[in-house]
Amino acid sequence: MKPSRRDFLIVSALAPAAQRLAAASAPALVFPTAPRDRLAVASYPFRASIDTPRNRARNPQATLMDLKEFPALVVQRFRVRNVEILGEHIRSTEPAYLEQLRASVKDAGSRIVDIPTGVGGSLYDSDAARRATAVGNAKKWIDTAVALDCPSVRIHLQGPRGAAPDAGLAAESLGAVSQYGASKNVVVNLENDDATTEDAFFLAKVIDQVNSPWLRALPDFCNSMLKGDEKFNYDAVTAMFRRAYNISHVKDMEVDGGKVFRVDLERTFAIARSSGYKGYFSLEFEGEGDPYVGTQKLIDESLKYLR
């Protein structure tokens, strides 16, 4: 039986929706394989030089730059064509500024691969209204990622004052956030950053409970060293890489309260490799000294171990 024009129109109308559903079933990023192409440079180590009112670490005495200048600087200085930009370094989320920022990234031959950001509240607050506000803010950052052609956001999981981390409430909120991310083809990542509210094993529990390919782990090489000993850190990094997809943070040290914590980069890259991780490695120099020198050192070291 030959399809009628009406049948054709119905199928045509349904096709875009079907395509969106297919696209949302799981992220399908195509990752580069050349070692240098897998690297990204984070804006965080250069926070003293980023000129935006929301940047609390800005140093008025430094030579300042707008974030629009950062991608070209990274390409020229480090020969790296991926950047990770902190949410508070974005001067404005108004469409006009985001279009300018997106154009500057394109002109530099670069790409934004992740946006780490807070959401102005706790996703496991016992107050439902406050949780809803945090969820709404997370969704706005997903919209910002779409505007910047960025495949993922990293949501900071902060805790309400005086409350212990709650995996059930966090999973409920992040289920809604990751579902929205799926509808926009944006991956939502959680990082082992804060030693209490973002403990690696707590995050693993939340990610497993949500059980969505759109909610993933962002392994930081050294953050978990601040909470435990060396074994704890490598166990934490292993748990995170088993749940990671597109972004991780490379650093060889952390400084906390004047104490220096160091990790073995070769060992940590081996953990990533054995976990089957194919995504980006964002260089996030921590410690005292020139971030340009520190970042270049991380690039050189990373290229030795990426294979």
* pLDDT(15) > 90: no
Asked if pLDDT for residue 17 goes beyond 80, the answer is no
CB 106 within 8 A of CB 160: no
In this predicted model, which residue has the larger pLDDT, 4 or 236? 236
- Whether residue 1 is predicted with pLDDT greater than 80 in this model: the reply is no
Q: Is residue 14 part of a domain?
A: no
Given a contact cutoff of 8 angstroms between Cβ atoms, the answer to whether 185 and 151 are in contact is yes
Distance CA 164, CA 47 (A): 30
The confidence band for 97, taking pLDDT boundaries of 50, 70 and 90, is very high
For the segment 60-79, the average pLDDT, to the nearest whole number, is 96
pLDDT band at 283 (very low <50, low <70, confident <90, very high): very high
Residue corresponding to tokens 């972004």: 247
For residue range 222-250, what is the model confidence (pLDDT) as tens digits? 999 998 789 999 999 999 999 999 999 99
Residue 76 included in any domain: yes
**Could you give the number of structural domains in the chain?**
1
Residue 24 has what pLDDT? 59
d(CA 193, CA 222): 9
CATH number at residue 183: 3.20.20.150
- Asked if residue 38 belongs to a domain, the reply is yes
Q: What is the mean pLDDT of residues 96-124?
A: 98
Calpha distance 92→95 (Å, rounded): 8
Residue 249 structural domain: 32-305
Q: Cα–Cα distances in Å, from 108 out to 51, 102, 238, 298, 299?
A: 19, 10, 35, 22, 19
Domain-embedded: residue 182: yes
User: What length does the chain have?
Assistant: 307
Confidence check: pLDDT of 25 > 50: yes
What would the pLDDT profile of 38-69 be if each residue is shown by its tens digit?
Answer: 999 999 999 999 999 889 899 988 899 999 99
Mean pLDDT, residues 140-148 taken together: 99
Bridge partners, 218 (sequence order) = 191
- Assigned domain for 4 exists: no
Instruction: Kindly indicate the confidence band of residue 306, based on its pLDDT and cuts at 50, 70 and 90.
Output: very high
Does 10 have pLDDT greater than 80? no
Average pLDDT over residues 275-284: 99
- Residues of the chain with pLDDT > 70, as a percent, come to 92
In a domain, 10, yes or no: no
Contact predicate 219/237, CB 8 Å: yes
Q: Is residue 158 part of a domain?
A: yes
pLDDT at 61: 86
Instruction: Name the burial class of residue 287, with classes exposed (0-12), middle (13-18) and buried (19+) by CB atoms within 10 angstroms of its CB.
Output: middle
Taking the mean position of all CA atoms in its chain, how far away is CA 71?
Answer: 17
**pLDDT, mean over the chain:** 92
Report d(CA 40, CA 283) in Å as an integer: 6
Q: Is residue 22 part of a domain?
A: no
Token representation of residue 279: 């995504």
- The span from the first CA to the last CA of the chain, in angstroms, equals 56
Q: Where residue 123 falls among pLDDT bands split at 50, 70, 90?
A: very high
HEC readout, the chain: CCCCHHHHHHHHHHHHHHHHHHHHCCCCCCCCCCCHHHEEEECHHHHHHECCCCCCCCCCCCCCECHHHHHHHHHHHHCCCEEECCHHHCCCCCHHHHHHHHHHHHHCCCEEEEEEECCCCCCCCCCHHHHHHHHHHHHHHHHHHHHCCCCEEEECCCCCCCCCCCHHHHHHHHHHHHHHHHHHCCEEEEECCCCCCCCHHHHHHHHHHHCCCCEEEECECCHHHHCCCHHHHHHHHHHHHCCECCEEEECCEEEECCEEEECCHHHHHHHHHHCCCCCEEEECCCCCCCHHHHHHHHHHHHHHHCC
User: Has residue 21 got a pLDDT over 70?
Assistant: no
How far apart are alpha carbons 295 and 285 in whole angstroms? 6
- Residue predicted with more confidence, 287 or 25: 25
